[in-house]
Amino acid sequence: MPVSADLLRILDVNLNRAREALRVIEDYARFVRDDADAAAAAKNCRHDLRRIVQTCGADALLAARDILGDVGRETRTPAERHRDDLEAVVRAAFGRLTEAARGLAEYGKLLAPAAAEAAEQLRYAAYELEQRVVLRGTLRQRFRAVRLYVLLTEALCRHPWLATAEAVIRGGAQCLQLREKTVDGADLLRRARQLRALTRAHGVLLAINDRPDIARLCGADVLHVGQQDLPVADARHVAGAAVLVGKSTHTPEQFDAAAAEQPDYLAVGPMFDSATKPQPHVAGPETLAAVRPRTALPLVAIGGLTLANVGTVVAAGADAIAVCGAILSAADPETAARAFREAIDAAHARYRADTPEAPA
C-alpha cells in the first residue's frame, strides 16, 4: 500500500521542528553555558534524527513537503514573537523538541516502527538534556570554574571544623565537600546545614559525600558518590534533579562506566599514595591523561596531592584538585589553601599557554 503524502508531510514537519530546536539548544549550551558536554549531547541527538530521516526515507519526505500549501504557515501567537531572555529561548526550544519527538513517535508507527521507537528514545533523551541544560545549567557552569575542591573531615582538622571551613574559603576554595563516614544521620544533617549557611554566605559550592538524602535536606549544590554507592541516576532521584552528581573512578574501565551514567563531573584517583585514604591501587596521573580525551565533563584529581605535584596532574588534564589533609591539618588552613589555589591557577595558566585546545 502506498505511503500517504499526508503522513510524510507530518513526519517531515516534525523532523524539521526537532532538528531546528536542537540547533538552538546546542548553540545555547555551547555559547551561553560553555558546556561542551551538553553541546555534544545535543549534537548526538541531531545524529539520531538523521537516522530517523533515513529510516523514513529522506527523498520521500522531501518530495512530500508542501510549503505553499501549508495552512499553518502563517499562524502565529503573540507569545511566539517575544522571548524575555536567553533561557526563555532555550526553554521554548526544548518544548518544540519534545512535542516534535512525540509526534514522530506516534505517526512514525504508521510508517516505520523502528523510527517510532527511535523517536521515543529521543524524547526521553531530550527530557534529561533539558534538566542538564536548564535546571542544572548554572551550577554546572559554576562547577567548571572550580579549581580548589576541599574535602572536609573533622578528624583531620587541627582547628574546629567549621572555623577551618571558613578559613579555606578565605584561602580560595570554591567547593567544600562534607565528608564524614562515621557521623550519625542527625549530626551529619546538622553539620550539613551549618556548612550550607556558611558556603551560601560566601558564594561557594557545597558538596555532600555519599548521602543523597542529606544533600537534598540541606539544599546542597553537589552530591558525590563512590564506586560502591548508588548509581548516578538513583542518587539523582533521591537528591533531586537540580543537584549536581559526581562520581569517583580509579581505572579507565570504571571511568567509562561512570561516564555512561551521565554524571555532572568525574573524579579520578588516587593520583599518588595518600595517608588520608590509602588505596591498594594508585591510578596516577597517567590514568588521568588517558581518560581526559574521553569526556568534556570536568575532571577532579584526588589523592596524595601536594604543592609539589599539582602541576603534574593539571598537565595530565585535571580541571580541579581535591585536597584534604594537606590543608585541614595545616597550622594555618587559610594560608595552605591559598598556596594550593595559587599553584593550581598558575599550572592552569601554563597548561593553557602550552596547549590552547586544552579544556578550560
Residue boundaries of the structural domains of the chain: 5-135, 139-354
**Full-prediction pTM beyond 0.85?**
yes
Kindly tell me if the per-residue pLDDT of 359 is higher than 50: no
Helix (H, G, I), strand (E, B) or coil at 137: helix
Give the pLDDT score at 250: 96
pLDDT, average across residues 79-103: 92
The answer to whether 139 and 265 have CB atoms below 8 angstroms apart is no
Give the pLDDT score at 233: 97
Instruction: Indicate the fold that domain 139-354 takes in CATH.
Output: TIM Barrel (3.20.20)
User: For the chain, how many residues are written?
Assistant: 360
Mean pLDDT of the chain: 94
Give the pLDDT score at 17: 96
pLDDT, average across residues 174-193: 97
| pLDDT, tens only, 7-32 | 999 999 999 999 999 999 999 999 99
SS3 content of the chain, % helix, strand, coil (to 5): 60, 10, 30
Task: Give the residue numbers marked as catalytic.
Answer: 179, 248, 277
The answer to whether 205 and 221 have CB atoms below 8 angstroms apart is yes
Give the residue with greater pLDDT, 127 vs 82: 127
**What is the distance between the alpha carbons of residues 111 and 30, in angstroms, rounded to a whole number?**
35
Q: Do domains 5-135 and 139-354 have the same CATH topology?
A: no
pLDDT, average across residues 159-173: 98
- The top-level CATH class assigned to 5-135 is mainly alpha
